[in-house]
Amino acid sequence: MSDPVNVAQLPVLRLKRNEDRRLHAGHLWIFSNEIDTTQSPLVKFKAGELVRVLAHNDRALGLAYVNPQSLIAARMLETWTIPDAKWLVTRLSVALRLRERLYPKPYYRLVYGEADGLPGLVIDRYGSACVVQIGTAGMEALKPRIHEALSQVLKCEAVLFKNDSSARELEGLPSYVETALGSFDRPALVIEDGLEFDAPLAEGQKTGWFFDQAANRRTLSRYVRKGARVLDVFSYVGAWGVRAARGGAREVTCVDSSAAALELAAANAERNGHKIIARKGDAFDVLEDLAKQGERFDVVVIDPPAFAKRKKDLPKALAAYKRLNKLAIQALADDGILVSCSCSFHVSAEDLQEAIAKAARGAGRHLQILEMGGQAPDHPVHPAIPETRYLKAYFCRVNDGLK
């Protein structure tokens, strides 16, 4: 149990009238314009400081950590317990139970921020190695305890703090990559449905691997016919492409702007007994070249990075999704399958569907949406926080005979 004296001594963050309604509904974020700055001036708080949150009428709402430099000025912790290593051990253990129920092997996202009751914290597990990504000042203040708790729960042999995400800039935090335990000089092993991959944890994108797409890659297997030609755009280290090769594709082309990523994609294919064609270049340029050459594929996967990291980026992002999907559709053979993804929260499922529809009309082709996928269950959605649902994957069929 928490020490009530310690809790009582915490500084108070008071909200304006009626600004506690969203918190009562279960959301965990407090925006700067919701705070009664006449009684709780933000300038008096330190970034990452633990506070007691009170409604305007003094009703206690819980504990949060605050950051006066961020638009999201505070994040609730759904507890009255002072966060320490013991508290973190409990949260990590609860998260671990879910993943062990879902996955036979220890390759998954262990902690997914708010959805696991740990706002601003992401942990990916690669066997005995873990990559930790801290995105908020509050979690940065808990960094030593996070390491301690992680060691207790998993007894990790290697721990990497990959604290270089763009979210840290919004929190006023420095960007860095730090090896806390073990070595990350070589790529780490990832096992997904019997396939083995090397993932570059220290130098790679995000935390090194995209566990969130695992379920959608599994779905892809149903749509790859024996002898198919497959194009994997924004391929990174070949997760989609290698999956297609195992599904019976006779030819898989991986497109990425990174030569290092394509080298790993080729090595990952060979590791699993397959081969890919690696093509380095800008995705839009490569797709345009393929269209000019009259190339046609049975399956095209487009899994781009987030085009809309902020709400104000949405108009340009939607134009980019439309153009990208149009180019992809033009590269498809009749009866071909398009897998169109977006990891931008600000691009809704409806936005992406509309972009795909406009792209199909622009390409002069008939399109059917077969199914839609989202993030894998190791990225659970908090029911009161729509921001925790971000990944969309549309599986579509092009059939010109229906025009």
* Residues with catalytic roles: 343
Instruction: Please count the other Cβ atoms lying within 10 Å of the Cβ belonging to residue 314.
Output: 16
What per-residue string of b and e applies to 158-181 under the rule 16 or more CB within 10 Å gives b?
A: bbbbbbebebbebbebeeeeeebb
Are 301 and 339 in contact by the 8 Å Cβ rule? The answer is yes
CA quadruple 238, 241, 245, 247: dihedral sign:
positive
3-state helix, strand, coil in the chain (%, to 5): 35, 30, 35
Question: Kind and range of the H or E element at 279?
Answer: strand 277-280
Cβ atoms 381, 22 nearer than 8 A: no
Query: What is Dmax (Cα atoms) for the chain?
Result: 73
Quote the CA–CA distance of 341 and 300 in Å, as a whole number. Answer: 11
Cβ neighbours around 391 below 10 Å, total: 21
Q: Provide CB contacts within 8 A for 327, sequence distance 6+.
A: 284, 287, 288, 291
